Amino acid sequence: MDFLPDDYLIITLRLMMAALLSRFIGMEREMKKQPAGLRTHLLVGIGACLMMLLSITGFDYFLRNSNGPVQFDPSRIPSYVISGIGFLGAGTIIVHGKSVKGLATAASIWVAAGLGLVVGIGMYYVAVLATFIVLVVLFVLGKLEKKYMASSKQRQIKVIAEDQQETFSKLSHSFKEHRLAIIDFRIENEAAYSGKSE
């Protein structure tokens, strides 16, 4: 396909804008030492923008020069981008016991892909507005959540003691004094803990 100078300018602008907006989200994740940070979000945003540009401009030659009728679905490539990003985001989610970490990072990767697609089709205002909202959620709401919702979070405590009954009784009393609720507990003997049989 032959591009005009204006086409090259638009393509450059969209790729640079996708990189810039994805960079803002990636920087926030990088600052919080998340496994998927600046580079990951940049690559996802740029890659999604590339796929959208390919979808809307890459098949014009075949549509114009085909001898017979050609059917083309421009939404197919972007839809595969969204589903494919799900596998990448799943790699950032860590499940440890009853706690799950990495959900916000997985969601931010998915958003970076969405930003790349939106920029790739030329919806600049939507992309900038969405980036602003995402940054507010990650920065502002994250701090508010830590400040006001920390008391509602669950914690896992591991205690090694010789006298199980007495220790459990003291812990229960201490938790009640501090208005802490025990959701679940498990008691193991030393042999089970070390993996040895008596």
Per-domain boundaries in the chain? 5-151, 157-187
| Cα gap 176→140, rounded to integer Å | 33
Q: How confident is the model at residue 59 (pLDDT cuts 50, 70, 90)?
A: confident
Maximum distance among all alpha carbons in the chain? Answer: 86
Write the CA distances from 20 to 11, 15, 135, integer angstroms.
14, 9, 13
pLDDT exceeds cutoff 60 at 1: no
Q: How far apart (Å, rounded) are the C-alpha atoms in residues 131 and 119? A: 11
Share of the chain above pLDDT 90, in %: 30
Contact 189, 165 (CB under 8 A): no
**Integer angstrom CA distances of residue 64 from 5, 53, 60:** 20, 18, 6
Distances (CA, A) of 19 to 46, 59, 88: 6, 24, 18
pLDDT at 119: 96
Structure tokens at 141: 């709401």
Write the CB contacts of 131 (distance below 8 Å, at least 6 apart in sequence): 21, 24, 25, 115
- Determine the pLDDT at residue 97: 59
How remote is the C-alpha of 80 from its chain's centroid? 17
Mean pLDDT of the chain: 79
Res. 196 pLDDT band, cuts 50 70 90: very low
